Amino acid sequence: MDLYSLIIENKLILELVYALAISLICAIIVIRTDKFFRLSMHQGIRYFRNAFFFYGIAFIARYVFGLLSDLEFEFIYIAQIIFEYFLIMAGFFLLYSLIWRKFEFSKEGHFSSLFNAKIAVFHAMALILAVMDNLWATYNFLFISQIVIFFYASVISYLNYKKNTKKNKFSRFYFVAMLLSLGAWILNFLAEAYFNWNHGLLIIVGIVNVIFFLLFLFGVIKFTNTKWQQRNVRG
């Protein structure tokens, strides 16, 4: 039995391991960025933290969705909406972490970064897109929204990297990760629209997604370690 056949035969188990692994990576990123945010009070880091908080919940929902795959349709329907809603919100938070200065003029930020007047618009859009996908039995609203989000995020992160005179590694990781995620969402869309969910293409998407999360994990660990070392030296 070749590797491809082995992956297909154990698809459900691998999807559950995949979802749990990404949820664990997201938890580490959230914990480390939350600690750094409380030291720096940087609002961009705050929204970046929120993005991975929502990614973590999305993939936990995906794990639950896998466990409920043989149960009542209503449970599967609700789990799928929750998965899409949190996934879309995570994309919005990542984009907003790059552009928040254009909409917020106080460095102190809102009392809650998870829900406020500006973020409420994202919540409404994410919920509407998730429900529409499930009503029409498609993923097109999810895929197109994420392609648009990550296209803009890629452009903005590239411009930020070019403006950064120090050219720190995290800004480079950020730009590369945005490109990888954009590519993954385009492949997802192509797999649905033109290749009838080709398993080989979906495996590539899964690998790219894992690289995306590992890049951010590595970048966050390196960035926070460097900043904490600098604070200790100053202290």
Structure tokens at 26: 């997201």
Predicted pLDDT at 35 = 87
Which residue from 123, 145, 122, 121 is spatially nearest to 133, judged by alpha carbons? 145
pLDDT digits (tens, 9 = 90+) for 198-226: 888 888 999 999 999 999 999 888 888 77
How far apart CA 141 and CA 147 sit, in angstroms, is 10
Predicted pLDDT at 1 = 52
pTM of the model: 0.89
State how far Cα 100 lies from the chain centre.
17
Predicted pLDDT at 103 = 80
* Residues 27 and 220: beta-carbon distance below 8 Å: no
Element spanning 143, H or E: helix 140-163
The domain defined by 3-234 carries CATH number 1.10.287: no
Predicted pLDDT at 229 = 66
Q: Which residues contact 72 (CB under 8 A, 6 or more apart)?
A: none
Predicted pLDDT at 42 = 77
Helix, strand, coil distribution of the chain in percent, nearest 5: 85, 0, 15
State how far Cα 159 lies from the chain centre.
20
**DSSP tag of 101:** G
Q: Write out residues in the chain with pLDDT < 50, as ranges.
A: none
Structure tokens at 49: 């933290």
How far apart CA 102 and CA 74 sit, in angstroms, is 41
**Which runs of consecutive H residues, i.e. helices, occur in 69-116?**
73-99
Predicted pLDDT at 203 = 87
Sequence spans of domains, the chain: 3-234
pLDDT digits (tens, 9 = 90+) for 96-111: 999 988 887 666 566 6
